[in-house]
């Protein structure tokens, strides 16, 4: 792949494999030629709405072929796609729109009204309206836009949570996201003969990367609107999928499936485990029951692909490591207190140097703290073997990682602070077998308050996305803080983790 622009992968596939199945969704089948023609048609529509080079297009939809079309249509115009999670609610959408200032939106479901409230009804394309099928026309002969897109132009914004503010927008230019896509194609060993499934939200960096890599490699993707393990297993068996993508909840569901052995999974080359560190006991159980092996990998929204087990050397695959740095990626580990580079075996923060790293955050002022002398600070704690294998042991950042999604404690705390009975609060994560971690809130309430912990859980559930809901709320006399006012989350976590890890959810 000699391309350096995000949309060149799709254009190349459409030229070389125009009739090859690109995306399967239900009974619908889109070829690469159809995807590219539809992207050209949508790009012309976006241009007619005033979208041009340097603008941003909000994309808020479920897993469907139009997602692939929309992202590439914006790219062809030199506009950047802003990835909004389709489960977000008004507070989250409002914050993201205020931060990124999109000119136009493409959405389905609840996202249509949420974006219309912020952008205006005329500035949102409703994918389930009849007009959308005319705009996104897979038979169109509309030419590709004639725009001088540069590899340094913004290509896509995905969201990542910090520890002291609402989620930040990760800004990838064409060069960085294209390189990250190439890294993923190589790490997975993808080619036109491959078939795999995507059930993770496309707004997540892993979902987006899977779709971009499939186009760049000419592979076939089956999209699922929601995760249904039996449907995924049936598709592997009946459609002879060659690889499967899994995050921790999917892996656990496979391990616990009572009839897993009844499905023929022999077409799989491997199951990729990403987004969260692998749980060896779960992976080993699935392999014992199916004969299918796992390919662990590691990346972040800011650097999409950092390490992977060597796909072309199955004899070297390991469950105790996320793998080796992919080509063009260099790792180092630094002391958490001094920032001094540590030798092999030294435990500290993992830092990454790569041209695939993000160009920065929105807001801009958040960018400087994310880098140290050009190295991206992952916030992950770990160590390196002399041969380069990485081991991840903890996280120095305080975000909570729920089923691969980063959740900022401050975002949930802002909702809780809006309740008149809450004097103070702190949100922290506790381990969970299914999701990896789940959010818990410690709250200090006004004396004599009649608010219940269930009331506060409901408040968060009504305000934020489902994966951000509180699993528990505990009432405390005071929130532990340092003299400077910083919440001592580790103190809370150490105090409550034993009790909450075994307590049933509310």
pLDDT value at residue 233: 96
pLDDT value at residue 489: 86
Lowest mean pLDDT among 62-71, 324-333, 427-436: 427-436
Q: Note whether 214 and 334 are same-domain residues.
A: no
Q: Note whether 391 and 404 are same-domain residues.
A: no
**Average confidence (pLDDT) over 150-155:** 96
pLDDT value at residue 269: 97
Q: Note whether 167 and 53 are same-domain residues.
A: yes
Of 372, 395, 418, the position where a domain reaches its end is 395
Q: Chain-wide mean pLDDT for the chain?
A: 92
Q: Note whether 423 and 325 are same-domain residues.
A: no
Query: Over the Cα atoms of the chain, what is R_g?
Result: 23
pLDDT band at 436 (very low <50, low <70, confident <90, very high): confident
- pLDDT for 91-146, tens place per residue? 999 999 999 999 999 999 999 999 999 999 999 999 999 889 899 999 999 998 88
**Average confidence (pLDDT) over 261-290:** 89
* Long-range contacts from 227-234, C-beta under 8 angstroms, 24+ separation: 227/199, 227/253, 228/199, 229/253, 229/254, 229/257, 232/197, 232/199, 233/257, 233/260, 233/263, 233/265, 234/263
Q: Note whether 383 and 414 are same-domain residues.
A: no
Cα torsion through 307, 311, 314, 320, rounded to 10: 20
Phi, psi of 485, rounded to the nearest 5 degrees: 100, 0
Does some domain include residue 452?
Answer: yes
Does some domain include residue 387?
Answer: yes
Most confident segment among 387-396, 465-474, 475-484: 465-474
Q: How many CA atoms lie within 13 A of 314 on its CB side?
A: 8
Does some domain include residue 280?
Answer: no
Q: Note whether 435 and 468 are same-domain residues.
A: yes
Q: Note whether 410 and 490 are same-domain residues.
A: yes
Instruction: Count the domains in the chain.
Output: 3
pLDDT value at residue 397: 67
Omega before residue 363 within 30° of 0, cis:
yes
Lowest mean pLDDT among 182-186, 315-319, 399-403: 399-403
Whether residue 452 is predicted with pLDDT greater than 70 in this model: the reply is yes
Q: Which domain holds residue 457?
A: 400-502
- Number of helical H runs and strand E runs in the chain: 14, 26
Q: Note whether 55 and 86 are same-domain residues.
A: yes
- Across the chain, which distance is largest between two alpha carbons, in Å? 71
Domain of 347: which CATH number? Answer: 2.30.38.10
Of 341, 372, 395, the position where a domain reaches its end is 395
Does some domain include residue 1?
Answer: no
Which is higher by pLDDT, 78 or 448? Answer: 78
* H/E segment holding residue 157: strand 154-160
- pLDDT for 170-221, tens place per residue? 999 999 999 999 999 999 999 999 999 988 888 989 899 999 999 999 999 9
- Give me the sheet containing 195-198, strands edge to edge: 28-31, 21-25, 220-223, 195-198
Q: Note whether 133 and 148 are same-domain residues.
A: yes
| Closest among 346, 353, 388 to 372, alpha carbons compared | 353
**Please, is 73 exposed, middle or buried when counting C-beta atoms within 10 Å of its C-beta (0-12, 13-18, 19+)?**
buried
Q: Note whether 218 and 332 are same-domain residues.
A: no
Domain of 495: which CATH number? Answer: 3.30.300.30
Whether residue 276 is predicted with pLDDT greater than 80 in this model: the reply is no
pLDDT value at residue 381: 86
- pLDDT for 231-263, tens place per residue? 999 999 999 999 999 877 788 788 889 999 999
pLDDT value at residue 1: 41
Lowest mean pLDDT among 43-57, 134-148, 404-418: 404-418
pLDDT value at residue 162: 47
Does some domain include residue 258?
Answer: no
Of 395, 425, 440, the position where a domain reaches its end is 395
pLDDT value at residue 237: 97
Q: Note whether 342 and 416 are same-domain residues.
A: no
Does some domain include residue 371?
Answer: yes
Does some domain include residue 273?
Answer: no
Q: Note whether 74 and 215 are same-domain residues.
A: yes
Whether residue 89 is predicted with pLDDT greater than 50 in this model: the reply is yes
Q: What is the DSSP string of 184-229?
A: HHHHHT--TT-EEEE-S-TTSHHHHHHHHHHHHHT-EEEE-SS--H
Does some domain include residue 461?
Answer: yes
pLDDT value at residue 164: 45
Domain of 68: which CATH number? Answer: 3.40.50.12780
Give yes or no for a contact between 29 and 195, defined as CB atoms under 8 angstroms apart. Answer: no
């Amino acid at each position: 792949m000699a391309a350096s622009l995000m949309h060149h992968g799709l254009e190349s596939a459409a030229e070389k494999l125009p009739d090859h199945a690109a995306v399967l969704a239900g009974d619908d089948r889109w070829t690469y030629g159809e995807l590219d023609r539809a992207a050209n048609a949508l790009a012309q529509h976006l241009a007619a709405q005033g979208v041009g080079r340097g603008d941003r297009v909000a994309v808020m939809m479920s897993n469907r072929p139009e997602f692939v079309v929309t992202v590439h249509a914006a790219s062809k115009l030199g506009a950047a796609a802003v990835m909004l999670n389709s489960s977000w609610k008004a507070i989250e959408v409002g914050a993201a729109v205020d931060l990124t200032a999109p000119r136009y939106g493409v959405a389905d479901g609840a996202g249509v009204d949420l974006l219309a409230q912020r952008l205006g009804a005329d500035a949102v394309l409703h994918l389930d309206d009849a007009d959308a099928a005319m705009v996104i026309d897979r038979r169109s002969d509309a030419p590709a836009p004639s725009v001088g897109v540069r590899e340094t132009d913004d290509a896509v914004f995905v969201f990542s949570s910090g520890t002291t503010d609402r989620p930040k927008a990760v800004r990838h230019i064409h060069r960085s996201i294209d390189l990250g896509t190439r890294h993923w194609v190589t790490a997975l060993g993808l080619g036109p003969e491959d078939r795999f499934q995507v059930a993770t939200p496309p707004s997540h960096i892993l979902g987006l990367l899977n779709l971009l890599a499939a186009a760049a490699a000419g592979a076939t993707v089956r999209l699922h609107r929601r995760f249904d393990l039996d449907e995924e297993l049936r598709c592997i068996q009946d459609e002879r999928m060659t690889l499967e993508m899994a995050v921790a909840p999917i892996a656990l569901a496979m391990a616990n499936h009572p009839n897993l052995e009844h499905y023929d999974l022999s077409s799989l080359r491997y199951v990729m485990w990403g987004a969260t560190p692998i749980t060896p006991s779960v992976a080993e159980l699935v392999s014992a029951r199916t004969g299918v092996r796992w390919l662990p990998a590691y990346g972040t929204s800011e650097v999409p692909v950092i390490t992977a087990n060597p796909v072309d050397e199955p004899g070297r695959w390991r469950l105790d490591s996320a793998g080796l740095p992919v080509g063009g990626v260099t790792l180092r580990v630094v002391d958490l207190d001094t920032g001094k580079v540590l030798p092999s075996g030294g435990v500290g923060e993992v830092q990454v140097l790569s041209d695939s790293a993000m160009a920065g955050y929105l807001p801009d002022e958040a960018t400087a703290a994310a880098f140290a002398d050009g190295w991206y600070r992952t916030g992950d704690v770990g160590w390196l073997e002399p041969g380069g294998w990485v081991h991840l042991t903890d996280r120095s950042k305080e975000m909570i990682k729920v089923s691969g999604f980063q959740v900022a404690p401050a975002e949930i705390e802002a909702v809780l602070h809006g309740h008149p009975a809450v004097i103070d609060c702190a949100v922290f994560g506790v381990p969970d077998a299914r999701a990896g971690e789940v959010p818990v809130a410690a709250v200090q309430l006004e004396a004599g308050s009649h608010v219940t912990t269930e009331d506060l859980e409901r408040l968060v559930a009504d305000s934020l996305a489902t994966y951000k809901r509180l699993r528990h709320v505990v009432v405390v006399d005071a929130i532990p803080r340092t003299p400077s006012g910083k919440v001592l989350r580790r103190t809370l976590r150490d105090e409550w983790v034993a009790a909450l890890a075994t307590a049933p959810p509310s």
